Amino acid sequence: MGKGTKERILTEGVDLLSRNGFAGVTLGVLSQKTGMSKSGLFAHFKSKDEVQLELLEETTRIGFLSFVQPAMKNAPGLARLRAVFQGWLGWTEKAGLAGGCPVAAGMFEFDDAPESHLIRRRLFSMEERWRVQLAQLVTEAIESGEFGRDLDVDQFVWELCGIYLNHHTSHRFIRDPLAFNRAERAFESLIERSLASHAPGKPRVLRERNRQRPRAKTAKH
C-alpha cells in the first residue's frame, strides 16, 4: 500500500472528523468508511491516537491551502487580515468537507481532558500557533499605518477568535441564516475601533453609540 492509499485514508478521515468529531474516528469506523480492513489501516497507523494526530495535520494542510495561502497574496496590512478572516469563516464548507472545523469542535470536545492528553496538547499547540499568526497579521496592519500604534494586539486577536467561535456555533448549531452577516458586522466594528484615524481617544462608533444611549433612571427607594 503506497502513498496514494494513505492520502485517501486521510481524505476520508478528515471528512469523517469534521462531521463526527474525534470520538467518531476510530480504526473500525475508518475501516468501514474507506472499505479497507483494519489490518490494512494498521499498515499506516499503529493506534487511534496516531490516526487522529495525522488527521489534525491534514486539517491544517487543507485549511492553509483553502484560505490562508490565497489570502496571503494580498499586501500586508488590513487587506490581508480581512481576506484571512473572510476565508476563515466556514472554511470547511469552502474546502468541500462535510462538517465543521475539527479544531474548533475539538477544543470543546477536549476542554476537560487532562493537559497531558495527546490530542489536547496537539490542539492547544495548533490554536497557539494560529493566534500567533493572527497577531502577526494585526501587527502588519499597525506597521502599514492602518491600525493605531497603541492597539492592544492580544486583545484584538482575543476578540477576533471570539467572533469566529460565535459564528461557528451560530452557523452550525443554531443554524442562524444571519451568522455570516453578523460575523462580518462584528469584524468591521472591531476594525473600525482599531483604525489609526481613531487613535488616540475614544473610537467614533462608540462615541456615537454613547450619545444615542439613554441614561439609566435612578431607582427611587
Per-residue pLDDT tens over the stretch 154-191: 999 999 999 999 999 999 999 999 999 999 999 999 99
The neighbour count for residue 210, using CB atoms within 10 Å, is: 9
What is the pTM (predicted TM-score) of this model? 0.84
Question: Exposed, middle or buried, 7 (CB in 10 Å: 0-12/13-18/19+)?
Answer: exposed
Q: What confidence category does residue 200 fall into, taking pLDDT thresholds of 50, 70 and 90?
A: low
Tell me what pLDDT residue 44 has.
83
Tell me what pLDDT residue 3 has.
58
Which one is predicted more confidently, 22 or 208?
Answer: 22
Tell me what pLDDT residue 102 has.
96
Most confidently predicted of 14-28, 35-49, 83-97: 83-97
Which one is predicted more confidently, 101 or 215?
Answer: 101
Tell me what pLDDT residue 198 has.
67
Tell me what pLDDT residue 97 has.
95
Tell me the CA distances in angstroms from 80 to 94, 106, 126, one per residue in order. Answer: 18, 27, 21
CB 93 within 8 A of CB 15: no
Percentage of the chain with pLDDT > 70?
88
CB 67 within 8 A of CB 91: yes
Tell me what pLDDT residue 55 has.
95
Query: What is the rounded average pLDDT of the residues 89-94?
Result: 96
- pLDDT higher than 50, residue 78: yes
Adjacent-strand bridge partners of 64? none
